[in-house]
Amino acid sequence: MSRETAIARASAHFDDGDFARTLSRRVAMPTESQNPERGEDLSRYLTEEIGPELDALGFTCRIVEHPRAKGPFLLAERVEDDALPTVLGYGHGDVIRGLDERWTKGEGPWRMADEGDRFYGRGVVDNKGQHAINLAGMRAVLETRGHLGFNAKYLIEMGEECGSPGLREICQENAEALSADLLIASDGPRLTLERPTVFLGSRGGVTFDLTLEPREGAHHSGNWGGLLSNPAIRLSHAIASLVGPTGQIRVPGLVPTHLPEPVREALRDCEVGGADGPEVEPWWGEPGLSPSERVFGWCSLEVLAFEAGTPATPVNAIPGRAWARMQLRFVVGVDHERVIEAVGEHLARQGLADVEVSASRDEIFKATRLDPADPWVGWALHSIEATTGKRPALLPNLGGSLPNDAFSEILGLRTIWVPHSYPGCSQHAPDEHLPKSIAREGLQIMAGLYWDLGDAAGRPSHD
């Protein structure tokens, strides 16, 4: 009975093809939470796949629902001793739309393809593959030690791709059942393909619309050009007043007052970019910050869509309306409840008070960040390095957004995320893929983490 044996078991789970068979079966379930026709598949994923696996690991499972949610939730627990620390795991079994006709690998999104060093299929990284790795790592420890040495709980939701509606209410209503000492979960990408990564929270996300409709209908650009204001031009100026030509946000309420030194210190060791993604443009974003500080320590404001006139078939007319969908990714220190108000006040100062600012119907993800100096962070980094021989990257928060506030704020947990993907994985796009090297190493990492969590001599105090 040893740590090395547990890690070898996890490796064998990959080498004998068991992991691929499990993931292939789960990918075959088209659990698109944005598709109202997939309700039965969302339920089947929990009752036919995750529930039976957790049952076999000694968990007690139950399915709960909430009227706001897109699908059911699975709550599970395995209690060995009330005196032991408790870890909560999390994952989501829903996926983004398959975009079936745009896949070039395999036979589409719902039949996992094994090509070279990659598994292709919808959900292989977001998020079916990631929680499959974690559950398999836990099983390797249980089979080796005969027990975990800690208490374990799990929450799997089926609506994360729609903004996790109902998740926060489920956590509030089941706070005692989900109580734990920390969250260990996996989602999002590593910093790079080769480097194991830990992140401690996520940037928040707010989407909002800018709309300008000065009159009803379009009017001939020859007869009325120079007499009628063009809403597309004025909306372009509105956007340009919010974010400058090099990407700097120009509204003080949309950025924090400063970059905390612990965050800056952690990011000194994290270089973004590489061969697995587009080339970083160093001139873009907040001046005076490194690329890693811009994406993990600061905010970004993006135009997701812009529409005026008839873009597919332009005509010689001044459009009657212009519209843009904006997105702010923000870090701890920005008041998300004032974003819409701050944008409206700024536009009024620019003489653009007639531009309507309205919140979209998307869920708001709050910004969260565990203190990098927390002893559980150092413990996790040490465990991963002991398993892989590599120094993990430590990100104070993910550049994207996750429903981490449900765990850090509502449940009051330390949150440690260990991603099993990489920036070039085509997440949310056709040909989503999981590198086999990450899957195998991820199984080893999680077996090592769970083994170390059960070692009373090496873990931090949970009192």
Q: What's the start-to-end Cα distance of the chain, in Å? A: 28
Domain limit, last residue, from 359, 388, 406:
359
d(CA 460, CA 462): 6
Backbone angles phi, psi at 37, to 5 degrees: -85, 0
How high does pLDDT run on average in the chain?
96
Measured CA angle at 201 (ends 197, 205), to 5 deg: 120
Q: What's the CATH number where 392 sits?
A: 3.40.630.10
d(CA 421, CA 124): 9
**What are the DSSP E strand ranges found in 111-212?**
113-115, 118-120, 151-157, 182-185, 197-199, 201-202, 204-212
Check whether residue 139 and residue 179 sit in a common domain. yes
pLDDT in the model for residue 276: 66
Check whether residue 423 and residue 324 sit in a common domain. no
In a domain, residue 294? The reply is no
In a domain, residue 180? The reply is yes
In a domain, residue 292? The reply is no
Check whether residue 124 and residue 36 sit in a common domain. yes
Check whether residue 317 and residue 427 sit in a common domain. no
d(CA 87, CA 90): 10
The single residue listed with the structure tokens 């009051």 is: 412
pLDDT tens across 305-330, in order? Answer: 999 999 999 999 999 999 999 999 99
Domain that holds residue 97: 3-202+367-453
d(CA 183, CA 384): 16
Domain limit, last residue, from 309, 334, 359:
359
In a domain, residue 402? The reply is yes
Can you tell me whether residue 182 is helix, strand or coil?
strand
Check whether residue 417 and residue 327 sit in a common domain. no
Check whether residue 304 and residue 379 sit in a common domain. no
Please, are residues 224 and 230 in contact by the beta-carbon 8 Å criterion? no
In a domain, residue 463? The reply is no
CB atoms within 10 A of CB 373: 10
What whole-number percentage of the chain has pLDDT above 90?
95
Please, are residues 320 and 217 in contact by the beta-carbon 8 Å criterion? yes
Domain limit, last residue, from 333, 359, 385:
359
- Residue 363 pLDDT > 90, yes or no? no
Check whether residue 102 and residue 170 sit in a common domain. yes
Check whether residue 177 and residue 40 sit in a common domain. yes
pLDDT in the model for residue 117: 97
Check whether residue 374 and residue 434 sit in a common domain. yes
Per the structure, the count of domains in the chain is 2
pLDDT tens across 2-40, in order? Answer: 999 999 999 999 999 999 999 999 999 999 999 999 999
In a domain, residue 62? The reply is yes
Q: What's the CATH number where 317 sits?
A: 3.30.70.360
pLDDT tens across 142-158, in order? Answer: 999 999 999 999 999 99
Check whether residue 97 and residue 20 sit in a common domain. yes
Check whether residue 37 and residue 170 sit in a common domain. yes
- Residue 168 pLDDT > 80, yes or no? yes
pLDDT in the model for residue 362: 72
pLDDT in the model for residue 273: 75
In a domain, residue 77? The reply is yes
pLDDT in the model for residue 67: 95
Check whether residue 245 and residue 192 sit in a common domain. no
pLDDT in the model for residue 220: 97
In a domain, residue 414? The reply is yes
DSSP state for residue 170 in the 8-state scheme: H
pLDDT in the model for residue 364: 83
